[in-house]
């Protein structure tokens, strides 16, 4: 049986490490390289970097910064943010990124993604979808770090992900981001029922119990930001991690 992957997600903005709540209220929490060095000591299996500044502003990835961070990491690193050209994807792989994570380009240039999958393989190209409920309780799709609402239903978006040929999907509920009140299990159940590729849940994890609920709802991997960088009711910055072995033990109990 494959172990469940547990993935810390680090948000970058203007060279710093930040954390958001519901995709806003950016809080600076430190230097990304220092965070990666701590995760090295904790033997994290996998790490994701998302440059929300590049996503919001439509600027290219900061390749110098990404290279510095990746060169410090002992674990595979996925990157997303500001990717709009094949040259961006090529350069990211050249500097050591293991997976590229695509969001807004899904709705703007699916041919680019299909070409990238032909060159690098579907296992290296990951879709990222941000979702938010409207006042009637319907899921709406957003891109550019939540700035732009896309005119596509959740069901159609999931079918598009499948059609393009992505190797994995990261699904995030904007309303859950940074709240540490648990994942959107209804969303997870709906999405995993429609897809036959691995799905990673993010947005809302606060305890190991949230991981277990998401796994039982159908995800292949769990990811979190706040849970791994904050401690206590006052959210003091203190980086932590739980291992897959710890999670497997909890799943048995």
- Residues acting as catalytic residues: 130
The radius of gyration computed from the CA coordinates of the chain, to the nearest angstrom, equals 17
For residues 197 and 191, what is the distance between their CA atoms, to the nearest angstrom? 10
- Exposure on the CB side of residue 79, measured as CA atoms within 13 A: 27
DSSP string, 144-209: TTTTEEESS-HHHHHHHHHHHT-SEEEEEEGGGTTT-S---HHHHHHHHHH-SS-EEEES---SHH
């Amino acid at each position: 049986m494959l172990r469940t992957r547990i993935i810390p997600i680090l948000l970058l903005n203007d060279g710093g490490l930040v954390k958001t709540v519901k995709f806003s209220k950016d809080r600076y929490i430190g230097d990304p390289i220092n965070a990666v060095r701590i995760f090295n000591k904790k033997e994290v299996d996998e790490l994701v970097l998302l440059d929300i500044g590049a996503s919001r502003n439509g600027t290219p990835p900061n390749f110098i910064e990404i290279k510095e961070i990746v060169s410090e990491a002992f674990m595979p690193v996925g990157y997303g943010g500001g990717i709009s050209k094949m040259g961006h994807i090529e350069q990211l792989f050249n500097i050591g990124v293991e997976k590229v994570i695509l969001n807004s380009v899904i709705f703007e240039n699916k041919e680019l993604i299909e070409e990238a999958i032909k060159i690098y393989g579907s296992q290296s190209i990951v879709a990222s979808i941000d979702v938010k409920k409207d006042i009637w309780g319907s899921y709406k799709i957003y891109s550019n770090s939540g700035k732009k609402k896309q005119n596509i239903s959740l069901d159609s978006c999931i079918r598009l992900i499948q059609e393009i040929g992505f190797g994995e999907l990261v699904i995030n509920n904007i309303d859950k981001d940074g709240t540490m009140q648990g994942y959107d299990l209804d969303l997870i159940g709906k999405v995993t029922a429609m897809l036959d590729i691995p799905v990673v849940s993010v947005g809302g994890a606060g305890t190991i119990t949230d991981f277990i609920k998401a796994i039982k709802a159908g995800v292949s991997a769990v990811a979190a930001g706040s849970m791994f960088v904050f401690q206590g009711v006052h959210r003091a910055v203190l980086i932590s991690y739980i291992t897959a072995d710890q999670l497997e033990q909890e799943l048995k109990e």
